[in-house]
Structure 1
Amino acid sequence: MSAQDVVLAASSDSPSLADRLRPHSKGHAHSLPRHAPPLSVSAPNPAGGGVAASRRRRAEVGGGAEAPEQDGGARRRGRDRGSLAGRSPRRPAVKVTAPPRGDAPGPPAVGLVPAPLGVLSLTSSSSRPREDSWLKSLFVRKVDPRKDAHSNLLAKKETSSLYKLQFHNVKPECLEEYNKICQEVLPKIHEDKHYPCTLVGTWNTWYGEQDQAVHLWRYEGGYPALMEVMSKLRGNQEFAHFRKARSNMLLSRKNQLLLEFSFWNEPVPRSGPNIYELRSYQLRPGTMIEWGNYWARAIRFRQDNNEAVGGFFSQIGQLYMVHHLWAYKDLQSREDTRNAAWHKHGWEELVYYTVPLIQEMESRI
């Protein structure tokens, strides 16, 4: 059949090719009448078809059912792209809409995509990228599910010791008297076998917050041991007088209940004299596991001079707090020991990864 036969075979009451390509209203894309049957879009047949087949395909591409315009931007896009069907040498933009179905409010969103010559591409604005795409995996941080509390994952399993860290801000004129009454009363509680607690250490700050006393207690047996000690101290008359005299010397006080990191040294008595550094870190919420993983490797770089005393993390009080306690012979020994760590391969990498986990940090000597 010739191309002329194909053109003449069209029904007399059907719109002509010129009518089908003529815009129905100013500012709208070329389209078929609204009641035209759905158009089937297929790739061109390379076997033949001639001029008439080429024209028929161009008419089908440019005359899709017209979708209601949603806004001014959509109308402008229709105006800009409506004449692409007639420009066969260029890459056509295919406009695809689904016919209304039943009582549906209207056709779905329309997607316009450029297609290469000889290929017709269909797309919809409702398509979404796969959640497991490689691009999304670069920006989404995946958190491994945890089936246990952080305290159980990080604390020592072989002991159930609980630590209490006390900070007492003393009136400057009362610091000497404060130290005197503490030396009289606190060691008695430490030595009494009826109290399941140990005074790990008591210090005054030289550098950091001035006129401050720091006490570290250990309760063998965890929370039950703590409650037992508190109950017995309420009936201890000497301790009651001590607390009353102490209250007149203090400006403020606070405490925290801590657990010990499983990879840190156990605090033990040391021969002196020594200076102690308490380094406190306020971590970003949710980063305690990361901190523990990094410091489980980092602690081996800080054992050469036996400077590591203990490492703790808070359970009650100011949360996501970490305390590292170090011992040195003097300030120069501290400087030399810390500098030596930077000459060990791997230390700088661990510091690099732990610094972003910190919100605030403080050092007390």
Structure 2
Amino acid sequence: MKPRNCLALALALALALQPAVAAAEGWSASLRYRHEAVSDDAFTRDASADTLRLRLGYAHDFAHGWSAGAELEAVAAADSHFNSTANGRVAFPVVADPGSFELNQAWLRWRGEHGGATFGRQRIVLDNQRFVGNVGWRQNEQTYDALSADATLRDGLVLRYAWLDRVHRVFSDEAIDPLARERDVNAHLANLAWTGAAGSLVGYGYWLDDQDLATGSTRTLGLRYTGQRALGKASAGWTLEYAKQRDYAGNPLRVDADYVLFEPSLTAGGLTWKLGFERLGGGGSAAFQTPLATLHAFNGWADKFLVTPANGLDDRYASAAGKFGSGRLDGKLGWTLAFHDYQADLGSADYGREWNASLSFPLPAGFSGLLKLADYRSDGFARDTRKLWLQVERSWP
């Protein structure tokens, strides 16, 4: 029996031997407006997109431990001065928020005292979403037709497993490119996490058989270690991660690439400082790829590295974050500032530099706001790009 099948069987047995517990139920909704402006020197025209997203969901606990849920998602665009990937406006830069109306989630779930299982269309997020996420930044969420399960094997030790049948991508069912709409896959995701006084250690294996794009099929095995230690009134943190990716399931490319992450941090005086080095290795013909990730959260908000270049990517970065405000806004205004320096893993190519900044703030009636900026300056890899976002959202309950 293959290792991933053994993991699935062990997880199923662990779930079957535990008592059921009640699940939460009721209506849920969220509303999000966003203005996104893009100036990309590769285009003669700038993009401007005003989009509104509405989600409406309901979950019902119909038996002890059993529940079912569904969620609809609608995205509307107020103008057409951008390439949504579905409207054919290729003279403009891409803003990947096409108008759509979709079934975002529809699942059946069983929940026990020490774990549970979910079958159907669902949201799946693992660790920091570097390898598997829901791409929550885009208006149309990435969800999966899948069977997923988790079990607490002992205190601090949690095993998660998922089998994926289809990936519903952020470009929606309206995308012109069929590969952008959804992908038929046969993927097995295994994630074993231990958390204790020394930090959190995660071992993972992700076997992705992309049945629509053979070159997207890979096997990834890795370890991730995070921790934090108090230093008087301050605290120091760290993240160390390594993964190896190889070709899998008939991939015609020879993939043999490394992933490395080193990120120390220091929190003091209400500020958090981070330094980081992230490498997605490349060998000239193929590179380390993370197609299921929430990619916007990594390698800069200008989204220049959603696909890793064939020679790989080294991202050296620094960031600072904190909160400020006075009166009723005391400590409620959040800010971040980050700088990235990009280079090739193989060879000496310079991919450019990027600044990112954001400001989050509360608004009346339970709404929240966000202002974000990205400024990418090329050094021959792509073209200079600047992006601006203004966002307002609220969730119920």
TM-score scaled by length of structure 2: 0.22
Structure with greater proportional strand content: 2
Structure with greater proportional helix content: 1
TM-score scaled by length of structure 1: 0.23
Computing the radius of gyration from Cα coordinates, the structure with the larger value is: 1
